[in-house]
Amino acid sequence: MSEGSTPDLFQVAVIGAGYFAQFHHDAWQRMANAELAGVADRDSDRAPPDGTPFFTDAGEMLNAVNPDIIDIATPPDTHLGFIELALAHRPKAIICQKPFCGDRQNAQKAVSMAADTGTPLIVHENFRFQPWYRKVKDLLAEGRIGDVHQITFRLRPGDGQGPRAYMDRQPYFQQMPKFLIHETGVHWIDTFRYLLGEPSAVFADLRQLNPAISGEDAGFFLLEYDGGRRAMFDGNRLLDHPAENHRLTMGECHVEGTQGELRLLGDGTLTLRMKGERHAEQVFAPDQPDRFGGDCVFALQSAVVTALQGRAPFENLAEDYIKVMEVEERIYESAETGRKVPC
């Protein structure tokens, strides 16, 4: 532990105070065994209103706070530099947002630097921590729907139409040359890996529908697995789905097996219908429906603390997350060539 901390209270410093970093701040502040000791952002107008110590220079913050956990919630092109800075302060763990380091080459550099110091480097890939996917994982492990044949997710957030698409929340989305998969679909690459393991091949078709943005905003990818299993991501950011909050689940998921099916609805409810039955039973309802993704940010950050306490292994270690980035590259390769590509 850092000086001033106790075995039960981890000191945390967050680099970044933009839109999504606010979810990081909130989660740390609600955690019983962690303390948000400092926030750094070059924009002084983003200082937390609750009085958390704020710095406009990340290095100054790390010198002042000497944290156990450094949480990087900044744009991808800043990740590698901040990871290098964080490693110099010898924290117990570093968490870094996605798209991790912008590309696989920089990501591998970050992994090597962390390995040289023995510091756990965790990618903040939080969708696998959404409570409905944790429940799906448990039900699959119990064999509730038999042998899985296919998982299909339909992304329909409905936020991508018109010239002001994304401008009110994350305006940099408009300028990303690779968007639907690099920024959003990557969540489901990781989630499908969490549920089914490593894919063997991919086929993809991507397209741009809104001329106001630079990258693709619609399309699909199909992951192949041993035994004939499939995972389909069908994304269209211009269309929506029946939900009060379109960003809670971002769409709907269908998990099909030999003995039944699971369906994720837009309100986070999960239902189970057994083979041959007409009606489904509710098997899960989220207890944090008003927080982002069922409070998955809190769940991920809690998992890091739990791992540091030695009570569970780390998830989403950067060295493993490289595999997600490799699959992403294969998806873009497939879309460019029109061919199925081995993973």
Whole-number Å distance between alpha carbons of 264 and 104: 31
Q: What pLDDT does 169 receive?
A: 87
Average pLDDT over residues 221-234: 97
> Looking at 107, 124, 141, which one is the last position of a domain?
124
- pLDDT greater than 60 at residue 2: no
Helix (H) or strand (E) holding 341: strand 341-342
Helix (H) or strand (E) holding 296: helix 296-308
Average pLDDT over residues 303-326: 97
Q: What is the DSSP string of 70-135?
A: EEE-S-GGGHHHHHHHHHTT--SEEEEESSTTSSHHHHHHHHHHHHHHT--EEEE--GGGSHHHHH
Segment 79-130, tens digit of pLDDT: 999 999 999 999 999 999 999 999 999 999 999 999 999 999 999 999 999 9
Q: What pLDDT does 4 receive?
A: 47
Segment 234-291, tens digit of pLDDT: 999 999 999 999 999 999 999 999 999 999 999 999 999 999 999 999 999 988 888 9
The count of residues in the chain is 343
Across all residues in the chain, what is the average pLDDT? Answer: 96
5 pLDDT tier (thresholds 50, 70, 90): very low
Take residue 160 and report the two structure tokens written for it.
Answer: 């991508």
Q: What CATH number is attached to the domain comprising 103?
A: 3.40.50.720
Give residue 338's region: left, alpha or beta (phi > 0; psi -120 to 50): left
Statement to judge: residues 273 and 162 lie in one domain = yes
Statement to judge: residues 217 and 233 lie in one domain = yes
Q: What is the DSSP string of 26-88?
A: HHHHT-TTEEEEEEE-S-GGG--TT---EES-HHHHHHHH--SEEEE-S-GGGHHHHHHHHHT
Give the Cβ contact number of residue 284 at 10 Å: 20
- pLDDT greater than 90 at residue 6: no
Q: What pLDDT does 318 receive?
A: 98
- pLDDT greater than 50 at residue 142: yes
Whole-number Å distance between alpha carbons of 199 and 65: 42
> Looking at 124, 147, 165, which one is the last position of a domain?
124
Indicate the SS3 state at residue 340.
Answer: coil
Statement to judge: residues 110 and 215 lie in one domain = no
Q: What pLDDT does 7 receive?
A: 60
Take residue 57 and report the two structure tokens written for it.
Answer: 């220079």
Statement to judge: residues 212 and 287 lie in one domain = yes
Q: What pLDDT does 288 receive?
A: 83
Q: What percentage of residues in the chain have a pLDDT greater than 70?
A: 98
Give the domain extent around 87: 10-124
8 pLDDT tier (thresholds 50, 70, 90): confident
DSSP bridge partners of 97: 124
- pLDDT greater than 90 at residue 3: no
How far apart, in Å, do the first and last CA atoms of the chain sit? Answer: 40
> Looking at 124, 142, 158, which one is the last position of a domain?
124
